[in-house]
Homo-oligomer: A and B are copies of this chain.
Amino acid sequence: MSKSIPDAALRRLPRYYRLLSQLQSQGVERISSSDLASLLGQTASQVRQDFHCLGNIGRQGVGYRVESLREQIAKLLGMQEACRVVIAGAGNIGRAVAGYSGLAREGFNVLALFDVNEEMQRSSVGNLQVLPMEKMASFMREHHVTIGVIAVPKNVGQEVADLMVAAGVKGIWNFAPTEIRVPAHIVVEDVRLLDSLMVLSARMRGGAGKK
């Protein structure tokens, strides 16, 4: 697998993936870089450069094969292997993640939520029960969980991350607004909702024209 995909290109892959999935479901077999670019509101040279990073070079006058390009991106994104996920924190964010149907569709299977709050533990989210936080580590080991979602308050984010790391997690999806420190072999992806709102605010002020 190419290790050399630049981060900026990597972050565009989900968008390509969504568009290609949509085109495929509409029966489109081939598409040119310029048609893709105009559907995405970016330049054709950017599209060609990104796909070139993947080792996929569209043919002049013929374009890209939608199905094979989608499959290639799906593979890079790990969409073809089911992933086991647990969520720490059964507040609004934890519940929103657990209840999001798109996750299961893309192979991310949420197995359980954990919370320290006893009232939360009596509740359920969809068909998932909320379990006591002290059971998280043993549950994760037993079920070979690879992704942990941190949806707990900021002040306990690191503590929960340490538990997940000790329980053998490979990746952490972090919603707590704090920097999480983990060993180098663990991947952390931060979701900073406030940053996105600040970017909206800057764009509203004309700080930048468009996406």
A residues near B, CB below 8 A?
A: 1-3, 5-8, 10-11, 13-15, 17, 76-79, 83, 91-93, 95-97, 99-100, 102-103, 106, 108, 146-147, 170-173, 177, 187, 189, 191-211
Q: Output the least CB separation between A132 and chain B (Å).
A: 21
Note all chain B residues with C-beta closer than 8 A to A187: 200, 203-204
Q: Is the CB of B2 within 8 A of A193?
A: no
Known: A1-B207, A203-B187. A194 touches B10 (CB 8 A): no
A161 to B100, CA, bound (A): 21
Q: Is the CB of A196 within 8 A of B191?
A: yes
Q: Is the CB of B17 within 8 A of A205?
A: no
- Partner of A194 from the list B102, B206, B210 (CB cut-off 8 Å) is B102
Q: Is the CB of B208 within 8 A of A196?
A: no
Q: Output the least CB separation between A127 and chain B (Å).
A: 16
Q: Which residue of B lies closest to A186 (CB)?
A: B204
A-B residue pairs, 3 tightest by C-beta? A92-B96, A14-B195, A189-B200
Q: Is the CB of B189 within 8 A of A199?
A: yes
